[in-house]
Structure 1
Amino acid sequence: MSASSTRRGVRRVVAATVLGLLLTGAATAPAASAETIRQRQWYLDRMQAESMWKTSTGKGVTVAVIDTGVDPTNPDLVGRVLPGKDYATDQPGDEHTNYDTLGHGTGMAALIAATGANFGGNGSFGLAPGAKILPIRLPESGAGANMAEGNKIFNEALAQAIRYAADHGAKVINVSQAAREDTPEVAEAVKYALDKGSLIFASAGNSGNEANLPEYPAATPGVVGVAAVGKDLHRTDFSQYGPQVDMAAPGEDMVHACGGKTGLCTTSGTSDATALASASAALIWSVHPTWTNNQVLRVMLNTIGGPTDGAKRNDAIGYGIVRPRIALQNPGDPGPADVYPLPDLAEARQSASPSPVPSARASEPAKAAASSKGDDGTSWLGLGIAALVAIGAATAVVVRKRRTATPPEPRIQQHPSPQQGFGPPPVMPGSVPPPGQDSGTS
């Protein structure tokens, strides 16, 4: 798994010790300007967050953030973070302590539930600022003497973390970390959480312009795999593609609260997109608390901004870009309460093989470890092995970075028209920059 990077804009390369996070760019403090932090959050404007917040803020919904820890003292997260669980027992602190310098878990929590309280009310906002965050800290991915051992340690903790989240009231489970291998324990934990009534969203990965090998748990049956789109609402170059992708959300140049010196970051990655998908589910569930996980997901899929060429889905954005505003306005029939709406889980349960081979057809997004081809059918397995870069002794999970080499592009669809859910950003009043902003890095 690669951790090499090209520089973009003012971003600096993430330290090689920051492992296990699906980020494509390191964090920086936004430069001083006449804009507020909220005005820099372009994705909230495109999703018309203020309009949605008149109907729902995600209140009453708990979102588990399985990550590097969540700092409850971050001003934009004060009052949002619950007691949780720490599986990174070899690290100082607990689930309220980030072991990575960027505070990745804090950043994901902020994209979901930040309240904008920082800088005198001019801080960053999450898409579901009324939701609560259940922090669950995983061990560093570099633990272990080799990649196999690191994968084992990661997946053992992930399986426990998913079960813990389901047992402690998390309707939505956000996993913005990944491994190259799945395990029966993780697959069983996913089924357990679904049976308990939770929804699980996970990052598809950020090596779309590299080897594009499937990552888990996004490719685990029963998990909603999330890809990233940019400001043009097309798949970003780094966002991984394939049958494991179920939906997409904004994931480029995301300004949000995080760890680090400034408490603010600008990042790009499918991690960020996953947080917005999780927040979207929280917004819908808050308004329809009696719905099951299957019904919430079905409405998300039914109201999604899908491909515009008539295809049911494609490998770039799955069934389309999540549109919670449409789901809140006109959810339609949520359908049966006890039927999971994506086909991969039923196919996995019906298969006699523990590792069913997914279909490569655009209309069949089954997930499994055997997927190693690009959209043109070219095998990326050999290239993927050649592209893996070892960092230290072991890297079961590593930071995703952009690289200059680009594989064949999947078919990219135009995003639906503005009236379907994403409109132009509203005109917002100008204001002075919040205090303490400069051009230094976090």
Structure 2
Amino acid sequence: MKRWTAPFAAAACAIGLVATAGSAGATTDDPLREDLWGLDQVHAEQAWSAGRGEGAVVAVIDTGVDLGHPDLAGRLVPGADFVCGEQAGSCGDGGWKGQDGVGQESDVHGTHVAGTIAAVADNGIGVAGVAPDAKIMPIKVLEDGSGTNEDIAEGVRHAADNGADVINLSLGGLPGTQLFSILGLDTTMQDAIQYARDKGTLTVAAAGNTSTLLCSDPAFSSDSICVGATDRNELKSYFSELPVKLSGKGVAAPGGSGRLLGGDCSEDILSTVPRGTGTDECGEGTDYAAFAGTSMATPHVAGVAAILYAQGRSMTNVEEAILSTSRHPLLGIRGGYSALYGRGIVDAEAAVAYPRD
């Protein structure tokens, strides 16, 4: 039985916030907006005049979500828990503490991902998501940061069967596990993602954090968009896998620096964490923290996908819009291809202007 993990944040994780001079042109009243440089890099606010994701649902298939977080209020739809031991089907509501009621340190991950996608904007607290009017479907498939491919596949199918437009998989296996799918030894995840795709649900999946040349699985072998990470300066994050897969469906998005060269965590991705598990260094209480990883890059893409779905687009058109309008920061081209960035850094402003089907 193959196990999957969510160390795509832990491999380069910075917890502790320092407010700095930040994003020019920030327009929300969220106190931490100046440090949300990821929103600026993907041109999220410039896309909001075309919609902020209202009506779209993103399934966060991960470690569960803090269902009572004030910055996610009104943004959650019913979830599920597939970390159920021998019990078949769901045994819970997608809360991060799971069936034993104990919040593991690594299980703050899913709440961070959810906030990057859809934290409420203009509510006077905390942060804002890429698609702040979208809904999150919390699906817990990992406990203490790891889980089985069978549980994750169940979560994927549940999301597709219950109205998710987008599936966010900020998780994956170690380098080399692609061989299981390539050789046909284990296609559980690949089949589940195809099942979701056949229902019109787009999957975005993290490339991985071990600096190898290919997307990790499930991003590599499945029909999904593989997401690599960039830092604040639009350079490839040192830890990120290259967003390379045979189909060419790879992009880049803000994932942070991991503080490799020092500095503070304003270089990483600031988002929600379960209440009381963050730090108070930024003066905003303990409900927020900054992490780095392709786990943090992936929800930026999921948020852009949610904005596009809310425009009434089909799955194929959403995917085409993301891939065709992503920009190469060094070459100044869109929709081309490079090993460092795949099709480029996702661009919400350009994507919402892409022709609809």
Query: TM exceeds 0.5?
Result: yes
> Which residue identity is paired with 1:87?
F
Report the CA distance shift for 1:225/1:38 in structure 2 as closer, same or farther (over 3 A). Answer: same
Report the CA distance shift for 1:179/1:54 in structure 2 as closer, same or farther (over 3 A). Answer: same
Counterpart of 2:12 in 1: which secondary structure?
Answer: coil
1:73-88 mapped onto 2 (5 Å cutoff): 73-88=68-83
Report the CA distance shift for 1:185/1:141 in structure 2 as closer, same or farther (over 3 A). Answer: farther
1:195 equivalenced with 2:195 (yes/no): no
Report the CA distance shift for 1:282/1:266 in structure 2 as closer, same or farther (over 3 A). Answer: same
1:116-155 mapped onto 2 (5 Å cutoff): 116=121, 121-140=124-143, 154-155=148-149
Aligned residue in 2 for 1:97: 96
Whole-angstrom CA distance in 2 between matches of 1:294 and 1:286: 14
Aligned residue in 1 for 2:238: 237
Aligned residue in 2 for 1:175: 169
- The structure having more radius of gyration, on CA atoms, is 1
Counterpart of 2:105 in 1: which secondary structure?
Answer: coil
229, 250, 254: which one aligns with 1:250: 254
1:274, distance to aligned residue in structure 2 (A)? 0.3
1:257, distance to aligned residue in structure 2 (A)? 1.1
Report the CA distance shift for 1:62/1:333 in structure 2 as closer, same or farther (over 3 A). Answer: closer
Whole-angstrom CA distance in 1 between matches of 2:306 and 2:124: 23
Counterpart of 1:121 in 2: which secondary structure?
Answer: coil
Aligned residue in 2 for 1:204: 207
1:60 equivalenced with 2:46 (yes/no): no
Whole-angstrom CA distance in 1 between matches of 2:332 and 2:45: 30
Aligned residue in 1 for 2:354: 331
115, 118, 143: which one aligns with 2:120: 115
Q: Deviation string for 1:324-378 (max 9, x for gaps)?
A: 11122x21364xxxxxxxxxxxxxxxxxxxxxxxxxxxxxxxxxxxxxxxxxxxx
1:274 equivalenced with 2:298 (yes/no): yes
1:29, distance to aligned residue in structure 2 (A)? 3.2
Q: Which runs of 4+ in 1 moved over 6 A?
A: none
Q: Deviation string for 1:40-82 (max 9, x for gaps)?
A: 1112233343332222110000000000001121110011111
Aligned residue in 2 for 1:304: 326
TM-score by length of 2: 0.77
Aligned residue in 2 for 1:20: 6
Aligned residue in 2 for 1:216: 217
Q: Deviation string for 1:196-253 (max 9, x for gaps)?
A: 0000000000111xx5565211112301100011111121111101532611111111
1:278-427 mapped onto 2 (5 Å cutoff): 278-287=302-311, 289=312, 291-306=313-328, 308=331, 312-328=336-352, 330-332=353-355, 334=357
1:129, distance to aligned residue in structure 2 (A)? 0.5
> Which residue identity is paired with 1:104?
H
* Identical amino acids, percent of aligned pairs: 34
Whole-angstrom CA distance in 1 between matches of 2:140 and 2:269: 23
Whole-angstrom CA distance in 2 between matches of 1:302 and 1:19: 30
Q: Deviation string for 1:8-67 (max 9, x for gaps)?
A: xxxxxxxxxx95331133342323668731111112233343332222110000000000
Whole-angstrom CA distance in 2 between matches of 1:246 and 1:106: 24
> Which residue identity is paired with 1:114?
A
1:172, distance to aligned residue in structure 2 (A)? 0.3
Report the CA distance shift for 1:47/1:136 in structure 2 as closer, same or farther (over 3 A). Answer: same
Contact preservation (8 Å) 1:72, 1:79: no
Q: Deviation string for 1:269-316 (max 9, x for gaps)?
A: 1111100000001111112x1x22111101111211136287931222
> Which residue identity is paired with 1:55?
A
Counterpart of 1:63 in 2: which secondary structure?
Answer: strand
Aligned residue in 2 for 1:37: 32
> Which residue identity is paired with 1:172?
V
* Residue ranges of structure 1 left out of the alignment (5+ in a row): 1-17, 144-152, 335-442
Aligned residue in 2 for 1:186: 189
Whole-angstrom CA distance in 2 between matches of 1:169 and 1:110: 20
Whole-angstrom CA distance in 2 between matches of 1:41 and 1:192: 34
Higher strand share: 2
Report the CA distance shift for 1:195/1:240 in structure 2 as closer, same or farther (over 3 A). Answer: same
Whole-angstrom CA distance in 1 between matches of 2:231 and 2:300: 13
Report the CA distance shift for 1:227/1:32 in structure 2 as closer, same or farther (over 3 A). Answer: closer
Whole-angstrom CA distance in 1 between matches of 2:40 and 2:332: 26
> Which residue identity is paired with 1:110?
G
TM-score by length of 1: 0.63
Whole-angstrom CA distance in 2 between matches of 1:106 and 1:125: 13
Whole-angstrom CA distance in 2 between matches of 1:212 and 1:313: 15
Q: Deviation string for 1:155-200 (max 9, x for gaps)?
A: 1111111111100100100000112334212111111111100000
Whole-angstrom CA distance in 2 between matches of 1:176 and 1:320: 19
> Which residue identity is paired with 2:210?
S
Aligned residue in 1 for 2:152: 158
Contact preservation (8 Å) 1:109, 1:275: yes
Whole-angstrom CA distance in 2 between matches of 1:30 and 1:90: 37
Contact preservation (8 Å) 2:72, 2:118: yes
Q: CA RMSD in A?
A: 2.6
Report the CA distance shift for 1:324/1:221 in structure 2 as closer, same or farther (over 3 A). Answer: same
Whole-angstrom CA distance in 1 between matches of 2:231 and 2:17: 18
274, 282, 288: which one aligns with 1:264: 288
